[in-house]
Amino acid sequence: MHRRLVFEEPVSRAALWSRRLAWFSLAVLLLSVLVFRAGEPSLQGLAPIAGAYGFVLLALILSVLAFIRIWQSGHRGVGMAAQAFALALLLLAPAGYVGFKLVTLPALNDISTDIDDPPAFSRSRVALDARKSRVPPDVSPELRRAQRQAYPKTLPIVLEVPAEMAFDIARRAALNRGWQVLESARPGGRSGAGRIEAVARTRLLRFSDDITIRVRPRADGSRIDIRSASRLGTHDLGANAARIAAFAEEVELLVETR
């Protein structure tokens, strides 16, 4: 009785290494994010994350090369290459989203519902300590007009309730959004306006953004203006406008349920 020898095609080395590199990229990316979250947020701290994406790109390129080699030589490893390709694309999705925002949105990092008279940030000791002595700078009229074109729905919140009640609603909305309220002053005094200072932190990378809310009385109720400014970078990727929109929705919900 003769045995029949079966020769299997070898496994593509490119496919094998593309899968290894893809999983290594995932581990490096997760570790980089955890290290960034544990420290003080800075643009320099993003370097390891950017480096991790270099590995992701290399894994993607290697998986494509593996597909080509397998097609040409008939080697095994399609599943490995496909796994690496899918994982690399999944990891690149956030970077693609950031790139899309950079291209489609103007470079703004300070958004206000009042572009003519934006609420001023407090310079109290409590507020300055929370902001590391930083006061968001004034924004030029040109950038404020660019904001209006990019985010036309970012408008003042007008309520048919007294300013005292609007202040309570605004403060509750800020807390419901998970913001850290630093200090607040009820409407009254010489200006008649109320003020709330807060800090919001992004979910993934824990960037700190500064918020000031102004509540003014009107003849027919009250008006709430909010300004949100990023501490790092010149482009907020639309985060501040989205934060203001979420705050406005929270205020509307509280008004409807009171």
Contact 35, 48 (CB under 8 A): yes
Are 99 and 114 found together in one domain? no
Are 205 and 169 found together in one domain? yes
DSSP character string of 150-187: H-TT---EEESS-HHHHHHHHHHHHHHTT-EEEEEE-S
Q: What is the CA radius of gyration of the chain?
A: 26
CB atoms within 10 A of CB 141: 10
**DSSP 3-state of 83:** helix
Which is nearest to 243 in space by CA: 149, 176, 185, 146?
176
What average pLDDT does the segment 22-43 reach? 88
With respect to residue 2, please indicate whether it lies within any of the assigned structural domains: no
Domain final residue pick, 79, 104, 129: 104
Are 174 and 75 found together in one domain? no
pLDDT band at 5 (very low <50, low <70, confident <90, very high): very low
CB atoms within 10 A of CB 142: 8
pLDDT in tens, 108-145: 999 999 999 999 999 999 999 988 888 998 999 999 99
Are 93 and 192 found together in one domain? no
Which is nearest to 251 in space by CA: 164, 159, 158, 173?
173
Domain final residue pick, 76, 104, 132: 104
With respect to residue 77, please indicate whether it lies within any of the assigned structural domains: yes
Distances (CA, A) of 205 to 10, 45, 254: 43, 10, 29
Give the domain CATH number at 173: 3.30.530.50
pLDDT band at 4 (very low <50, low <70, confident <90, very high): low
Are 87 and 154 found together in one domain? no
Are 120 and 70 found together in one domain? no
Are 175 and 158 found together in one domain? yes
Q: Quick one: tokens of 11?
A: 């496994």
Residue 7's pLDDT is 45
Burial class (CB in 10 A: 0-12, 13-18, 19+), 123: exposed
Distances (CA, A) of 40 to 51, 160, 178, 203: 19, 42, 20, 15
Q: Quick one: tokens of 19?
A: 């899968």
Domain final residue pick, 88, 104, 120: 104
With respect to residue 72, please indicate whether it lies within any of the assigned structural domains: yes
Sequence-separated (6 or more) residues with CB below 8 Å from residue 75: 9, 10, 11, 12, 15, 69
With respect to residue 7, please indicate whether it lies within any of the assigned structural domains: no
pLDDT in tens, 9-27: 677 788 888 999 999 999 9
The alpha carbon of residue 14 and the mean position of all alpha carbons in its chain are separated, in whole angstroms, by: 36
Residue with tokens 């008649």: 192
Domain of 179 in residue numbering reads as 110-257
pLDDT band at 8 (very low <50, low <70, confident <90, very high): low
**Count of domains in the chain?**
2
With respect to residue 8, please indicate whether it lies within any of the assigned structural domains: no
pTM above 0.85, yes or no: no
With respect to residue 232, please indicate whether it lies within any of the assigned structural domains: yes
Are 173 and 222 found together in one domain? yes
What average pLDDT does the segment 63-83 reach? 87
